[in-house]
Amino acid sequence: MANHDVIVIGGGLAGLAAARTLAAAGVAPLLLEASAEVGGRVATDEVDGFLLDRGFQVLLDSYPEARQQLDLAALQLGRFAPGALIRREGGFGRVADHWRAPVAGVRSLFSGAFTPIDALRMLKLRSNAILALEGDPIARGDETAARGLHRRGFSDRAIERFFRPFFGGVFLDTQLGAPVHWFEFLFGMFAIGHATLPSGGMGAIPRQLAAGLPEGSLRVDARVRSLKGTRVELASGELLDADAVILATDARNAPVLLPGSRAPQWSSCVTLYYAAAASPIAEPLLMLNGEDRRGPVNHVCVPSDVNASYAPPGQSLISATVVGSGHADDAILDRDARAQLSGWFGADALRGWRLLRVARVPYALPRAVPAPDSVAAAVRLGPQLYGCGDYLETPSINGALRSGRRAAEALLADRRAR
C-alpha cells in the first residue's frame, strides 16, 4: 500500500489551492479528483469553437485570494464594463458606473431606478463596503441582504430594478437571502475591481493552478469511496495511506466520506448559450431583467464581447441565465427565453440565434455562509484530518481558494508544532 505525505481529496479550486500551498512549503501532496479534469464547478466546454462555461460565472480581479494565488496577467482577462443595462418599461436604462462613481452612475439611469436619496445611500454603502474589506468576509450576524438594504433606506424601486436582478444573479437567489456582510464584501469587490472572463474560459483558472503542481501529484478519475482515519479507499478498491488528509470535496460529497458533516441547501441556475452572427449590443455589459417576472431570464451577456476567445472570429456567443431550475423541458425553456429576449433585442435578431447548449447547474452555490467560529473549527476535522471548500467559507472563487489555503496552512502549522 502506497504511503503519501498528504492526500487532498477533491480537485476543485479549494483542493487545488490546498495542494499548491503544500507544494510551495515543500510538502508533497497527492491530489485525487473524481472526475476526468480538475476545476470542479469552474469548468468550460468547447462546442463548435465556442467556449461554454458550466453556468455563467465571472472572476472578480479584486478578489484578494485571486490576486495572491493566480497569475492574473497570464489569464488574459477580458473586463466587463463596470455598469449594467437594466431592462424595464420596454427599454434599456444604463447604470454607468455605480461602483466607482455612484452618484454619476445613479443619475445616468435614464428612467430612474434610483431616487436621489438612493444615490446618497449608494455612496454610503460603497464607502462602508470598502472599509469592511479590511475585515473578514464571513457573516457576523443573520441579517439578510434584502433586510439590510431596506434597513439602509433604499427604495423598493432601487431594490426591485437593480439590487434584486444584479445580486440575485450573483447569489443565484432573487430573494437576496444571503447574509448582508457577504453582500457588502461583494459590493466592495465590485467597487474596487472588475468582473472579468479569462481567455480560454473560466476553466483556464483551475488549469493554471494544476499546471503549477509538482509532476505526478495529480490523479484524475480517482474517486474516493471511503475515508477511515488517514486511509483512503478509491472506487477501484485501491488503498492509499497518508500522514494527513485534506477533505476538499463539495458540500454534497463531504458527508459521504465524513458522516455528520454539514449538508447545506443549494442554489441552482440554468444558462442558455446561443451562437449568433452578431452581438445584440456589441458592448461588454451585463444586461439585467428589471421587469419582475416577465420571462425566465434574469441576466444576459455576450461573453465574446468581454473576451474574444469565447467565440470563433466573426461570431458571437450569448449567455442567458435563469436563476433557479427553470422549466424542466429544454425546448420550452428555450422558447420562453426567446420570447422574452425578442422583446429586448427584436424578433429579427433572435431568428438567427442557434441554441448551443442548455447548461443546468442544480448544485451551483451552497446557500449558507457559516459564522466565523464554525469556519475556524471546520478547518481541523480530526487527527491529521483537515477540511476545505466554499461551503466552509463563502460560496465563491475567493472563498474556495481561501479555504484551501487555510486548511493547508493549518496542516503545516500543526506539523511544525509537532
User: CA-CA distance, 165 to 171, in Å (whole number)?
Assistant: 10
The three-class DSSP label of residue 4 is strand
- To the nearest 10 degrees (0 to 180), the angle between helices 116-132 and 180-192 is 90
Least distance from C-beta 167 to ligand FAD, angstroms? 11
Q: What is the DSSP letter of 163?
A: I
Minimum CB distance to ligand FAD smaller for 201 or for 395? 395
As given in the structure block, the three cell numbers for residue 317 are 456567443
Least distance from C-beta 189 to ligand FAD, angstroms? 9
Radius of gyration of the chain (CA): 22
Least distance from C-beta 352 to ligand FAD, angstroms? 27
Residues sharing a CB contact under 8 Å with residue 37, sequence separation 6 or more, in sequence order: 43, 203, 206, 220
Least distance from C-beta 283 to ligand FAD, angstroms? 19
- What is the amino acid identity at position 383? P
As given in the structure block, the three cell numbers for residue 208 are 493554471
Q: Please, what sign has the CA dihedral across residues 102, 103, 104, 109?
A: positive
Cβ-contact 87, 289 below 8 angstroms: yes
Residue ranges in contact with ligand FAD by CB under 6 A = 9-15, 32-35, 40-42, 55, 57-58, 223-224, 248-250, 253, 257, 269, 361, 364-365, 389-390, 395-400
Minimum CB distance to ligand FAD smaller for 217 or for 396? 396
Minimum CB distance to ligand FAD smaller for 111 or for 236? 236
Least distance from C-beta 368 to ligand FAD, angstroms? 13
Minimum CB distance to ligand FAD smaller for 15 or for 78? 15
Nearest to 240 by CA among 19, 33, 2: 2
Minimum CB distance to ligand FAD smaller for 102 or for 203? 203
Cβ-contact 220, 38 below 8 angstroms: yes
Minimum CB distance to ligand FAD smaller for 250 or for 336? 250
User: CA-CA distance, 165 to 170, in Å (whole number)?
Assistant: 9
Least distance from C-beta 220 to ligand FAD, angstroms? 9
Q: Sheet harboring 195-197: ordered strands across? A: 59-60, 195-197, 78-79
Least distance from C-beta 342 to ligand FAD, angstroms? 25
Minimum CB distance to ligand FAD smaller for 122 or for 210? 210
